[in-house]
Structure 1
Amino acid sequence: MTLMAFAAYEQQLKWVAFVLGVASTICVVQGWQLAAMLFSLPFCLIWMYCAWLRTEPQLKYINMLFTVLYVYGIGRYFWIVI
């Protein structure tokens, strides 16, 4: 599968990212840290993919950084809890 495989679905992916962003914000306000990270990770992955489609380097690299931080946070959460 190539990077352009979902290019036809870019607008739908952006709407999914919007819903994930809203859900993540609600989780932050409610104090549900793990849920916020679990919603934010796919949000970042979608925006990173869309940035690669449009060659927006700032958006791509910012979301790469956030993706690494969310993966670290989720891993740390499970490492501490388990």
Structure 2
Amino acid sequence: MTAFLMSFARYEQHLKWLALVLGILSTIAIVQNWYPYTMFISVPFCLIWIYCAWLHTERQLKYINIIFLILYAYGITKYFLVGA
């Protein structure tokens, strides 16, 4: 598993740029009140930052994004189970 994850290390800068774009899109979605798109956009944002933090063993950044990922997963699950 570690070797598989390390194979993406060469794309770290590209992933960070993608995370920036996703962060901007998420902010626009919040301002425009485009619920539930805010959650769907934020999940890959969190996954990218969890991965980048894992590469550099930045525990705090990794755990903060894991918490946000869990909260977004809860929100998405609730959205599909309860409905809009």
Q: Give the TM-score of the pair, scaled to structure 2.
A: 0.93
What's the counterpart of residue 16 of structure 2? 14
Identity %: 61
Alignment of 1:12-51 (within 5 A): 12-51=14-53
Range with bigger deviation, 1-10 or 19-28: 1-10
Whole-Å separation in 1 of the counterparts to 2:76 and 2:24:
19
Q: CA deviation at 1:80?
A: 1.2
What's the counterpart of residue 80 of structure 2? 78
Whole-Å separation in 2 of the counterparts to 1:57 and 1:81:
35
Query: Do residues 66 (structure 1) and 60 (structure 2) align?
Result: no
Whole-Å separation in 2 of the counterparts to 1:19 and 1:11:
13
Q: CA deviation at 1:51?
A: 0.1
Amino acid aligned to 2:29: C
Q: Which runs of 5+ in 2 are unaligned?
A: none
Amino acid aligned to 1:29: V
Q: Give the TM-score of the pair, scaled to structure 1.
A: 0.95
In terms of fraction of residues, the more helix-rich structure is 1
